[in-house]
Structure 1
Amino acid sequence: MSTNEGLRAPARTGSPDPRAARVRDRLRRAAFELIEQRRVEKISVSDITQRAGVSRQVFYQHFRDRDDAVASAVAASLQAAAAETDGEHPVALIHRLCDYTAEHAGLYRNLYPSAASQQTADAYRDLIRPACERLAAGLSERSAGVLADFLIGGIIEVSRHQDENADAGTAARANALRARIDACLDAVGIQVS
């Protein structure tokens, strides 16, 4: 097999067929449930297919490998969480993703470091980019792009470090994460409330 064949997208990845979408959702749900329970390296394609009730052949019609399925599952979940704040103030989206991160703290511990973690970070970055660009534009039109990149990197990095609140409940973790991110936003001159 050539290198290009290995990188080619699976046949059913973007299929509009509702049956394919249902199977892809089942596979994503299975991968998401597994990543909440154990580290990525302890999850196999067989684990995902067994939980989803499909064959390996069907799995490979939708995903390149385990990491692709895990990253897709987390990205879809992040997008669903972000959709809850559609059209609100940019900080509302950032806060909603803080809540999501706190709700799924175990998932993030199980995700890092793995090949899927970079794909997940890219999906998170893509979700918060429009909000960070809006916030940055309010501060500086000339360097808004650079400031948006700075905000994105800072939010991702602050969100990753929740170990000090590992024993706290979800609400306490979410509030602590929001407070840390709000302090950073305030430090660069962004009004949070």
Structure 2
Amino acid sequence: MSTNEALRAPARTGSADPRAARVRDRLRRAAFELIEERRVERISVSDITQRAGVSRQVFYQHFRDRDDAVAQSVAAAFRELAPAGEPEGPRAVIHRLCDFSARHADLYRNLYPSAASQQTANAYRDLLHPACVRLVDHLPNPATLADFVLGGIIEVIRLPAEAPGGEVAAESLRRRVDVCLDVFAS
């Protein structure tokens, strides 16, 4: 992190203080709820702080701006899909992402395109990459194949989830992904 970035970084972002963590979680929940209701460009810092019941000053102790809060709220939801230390197959993580995508289809439609979408895409990749590596670790050149599988999963899930006005069934997303994953299981 450069000196300028360090100076702009919010003071409480990584605070272990339980009170700060509770406030940060309230702000993240507020941002997450708002992104499910409307497009990112129609959400303001004031909207987030009013929903969370905190001041703008408190908001800026935890986040750089609205896009940072939105991206971190979605990234936190992704992290909950793959809790650390749980020994499970890669499909379980991918299926939970399918379920999440179906439940939160409006989130995807409201998030893209926005400045927060790239940070969110990175969090999505961070969640999926270990599962993709485990899917192809028995094949030659697993690092390249894992990247390929990752991109394919993202597209197979994203396209129906972003369809305008259409509801997406989690089971349908899981079936679509499984068709692709079965190729690597043999």
Please give the per-residue CA displacement for 1:129-180, whole angstroms capped at 9, x wherever unaligned. 111111110222xx11000111111111221111559544x6xx21111111
Q: 1:132 to 1:48 in 2, by over 3 A?
A: same
Q: Which runs of 4+ in 1 moved over 3 A?
A: 5-8, 163-168
Task: Report if the CA contact (8 A) 1:82-1:97 is conserved.
Answer: no
- Could you tell me the TM-score, scaled by structure 1's length? 0.88
Partner Cα distance (1:6, 1:44) in 2: 24
**Corresponding position of 2:177:** 181
Of the candidates 146, 149, 158, which is equivalent to residue 148 of structure 1? 146
Retained in 1: the 8 A contact 2:109–2:164?
no
Q: Kindly, what percent of the aligned residue pairs are identical?
A: 69
**In the comparison of the two structures, how many residue pairs are matched?**
184
1:70-92: CA deviation from partner (whole Å, max 9, x where unpaired): 01001111111222993211111
Matching residue within 176, 185, 190 for 2:185: 190
Equivalent residues in 2 for 1:118-157, closer than 5 Å = 118-140=118-140, 143-157=141-155
- Stretches of structure 1 that go unaligned for 5 or more consecutive residues are none
1:46 to 2:41 alignment: no
What is the match of residue 113 of structure 2? 113
Which whole-Å deviations, capped at 9, do the CAs of 1:98-125 have from their partners, x for residues lacking one? 0011110011100011111111110010
* Cα distance in 1, alignment partners of residues 165 and 86 from structure 2: 29
Deviations 1:4-43 (A, max 9, x none): 2587321100000001001100000100010010000000
What secondary structure does 2:185 align onto? coil
Give the stretch that moved more between structures: 22-31 or 158-167: 158-167
Cα 1:190–1:166 shift into 2, 3 Å: farther
Distance 1:58 1:164 in 2: 36
Shift of 1:182: 1.1
SS in 2 for 1:119: helix
Match of 1:21 in 2: 21
User: What 5-or-longer segments of structure 2 have no aligned partner?
Assistant: none
Distance 2:132 2:18 in 1: 34
